[in-house]
Structure 1
Amino acid sequence: MMLVGLTGGIGSGKSTVGKLLEDLGVPVYNSDIEAKRLMNTSKVLRRKIVQLLGEEAFVDDTLNRAYIAKKVFNDKALLEKLNGIVHPAVRKHFLRWAKKKDHPYVVQETALLFENGMQDYYDKTVLVTAPKDIRIKRIMERDGSTRQQVLDRMDNQLDDAIKLPLADYVLENIELDKIKGKVQALNIALLEYC
């Protein structure tokens, strides 16, 4: 089975691409969703997160996302420590999940694939891109974030110019109608590679 890493900067539409692949029958593992679930359910992860960030990291046995975001997004060293706790657990969970799938390839959707130097974990990588102004608008509309909040989050990710030469496939995602055709073509290419 081939492992495919799907990534893209915030607001690029990588989740849209992931959903379109799922619609084609491809198993897609959403790392953001699974990381949040694991942080809420794993006693080991919980203990490590509390040691790093304090008891306020959880409220009523639930991850306090607002508190954690406030702590880590302006402290890159602390964010790296948190990622160092969460990402290995997510990777291990993904590999167990992938073994249970019956498809020529599976996809792991993950925001920080290249930032964390994880490209060698995959047989192929897919980068979803979109112009910065479109990405900012999407996130502001989706999350109710301010422009500055979006820019702050973007600062924690590599620029697309750095990621482009690292990716095996690049999909520019501006219009939904066009990205559908690009995802169908990507699926055909990946199946041919298997």
Structure 2
Amino acid sequence: MRIGLTGGIASGKSTVSLYLASLGMEIIDGDLLAREVLVLYPEILTYLQDTYGDLIFQEGQLDRRALGRIIFQDEEKKRAYLDVIMPKIVEEARKRLKEAKGSFVVLDAALLFEEGLEKDVDITVTVFVPYEVQLERLLKRDGLTVSEAVSRIRSQMPLAEKKRRADHVVDNSGSREETYQQINEILKSLGFGEIKGQENEKKKKEEE
């Protein structure tokens, strides 16, 4: 079973991904791939150096936060960057999906639908929160201005659209336990089997 996991910035996708990893699933992390391709394909760094130079490089090292501030404020620059890096990320993601040996493998990719990677998995899951919650969490997490936070959210496919396209939706606007319970129900429907600790927690609640 190949599961495509997606969501928007500050929606809690990483929380869900970590939980699935704790259950023993193999995770193909799109954010990690974005870092790895910079080493695997040096021409990407060359492009960034030639395009932005000292604006995003400090002592020869890429400042990803500085890069983000530039490209998320300018749609043309963002598209130019994605045109260079995304084909390599997609190539690596597809390669690793084919190489994966586990019964349940998760492709954790923010741009799952945008890059057509939903075609490479069996089912898709969107981690969803209302816009107001997403904005509040992003402001708190990254220390951005409201303008910067709004720009980053708007630079992605709306969460409502990702929700519409997904086979399953996890509403992450409540407690972490509520989120985990939704994931457990989805996994149960997919035949994942008993989740360790779930029965003990159920018995504990019944005793209380």
Q: Residue type matched to 2:176 in 1?
A: L
User: Post-superposition shift, 1:41?
Assistant: 5.7
- What aligned pairs does 1:17-166 form with structure 2 within 5 A after superposition? 17-39=16-38, 42-51=41-50, 53-56=51-54, 57-166=56-165
Distance 2:159 2:95 in 1: 30
**SS at 1:12's partner residue?**
coil
User: Post-superposition shift, 1:8?
Assistant: 0.7
The 10-residue stretch of structure 1 (116-125 or 69-78) with the greater mean CA deviation from structure 2? 116-125
Does the Cα contact within 8 Å between 2:7 and 2:127 map onto a contact in 1?
yes
Distance 1:163 1:95 in 2: 20
**TM-score, length-scaled by structure 1:** 0.86
Does the Cα contact within 8 Å between 2:128 and 2:163 map onto a contact in 1?
no
Distance 1:142 1:176 in 2: 17
Cα–Cα, structure 1 residues 66 and 95, in superposed 2: closer, same or farther, change >3 Å?
same
**SS at 1:28's partner residue?**
strand
Query: What residue in structure 1 maps to residue 177 of structure 2?
Result: 177
Q: Which whole-Å deviations, capped at 9, do the CAs of 1:68-91 have from their partners, x for residues lacking one?
A: 223211221221121122122122
Identity across the alignment (%): 27
Q: Residue type matched to 1:84 in 2?
A: D
Distance 2:187 2:60 in 1: 40
Q: Residue type matched to 1:152 in 2?
A: S
Does the Cα contact within 8 Å between 2:90 and 2:117 map onto a contact in 1?
no
Cα–Cα, structure 1 residues 189 and 80, in superposed 2: closer, same or farther, change >3 Å?
farther
Structure 2: gaps (5+ residues) = 193-208
Larger-gyration structure (1/2)? 2
Q: Residue type matched to 1:61 in 2?
A: G
Q: How many residues align structurally? A: 190
**SS at 1:74's partner residue?**
coil
Structure 1: gaps (5+ residues) = none
RMSD: 2.1
Distance 1:43 1:50 in 2: 11
Query: What residue in structure 2 maps to residue 190 of structure 1?
Result: 190
Does the Cα contact within 8 Å between 1:9 and 1:160 map onto a contact in 2?
yes
Is residue 167 from structure 1 mapped to residue 162 from structure 2 by the alignment? no
Distance 1:103 1:41 in 2: 25
**TM-score, length-scaled by structure 2:** 0.80
Distance 1:179 1:110 in 2: 19
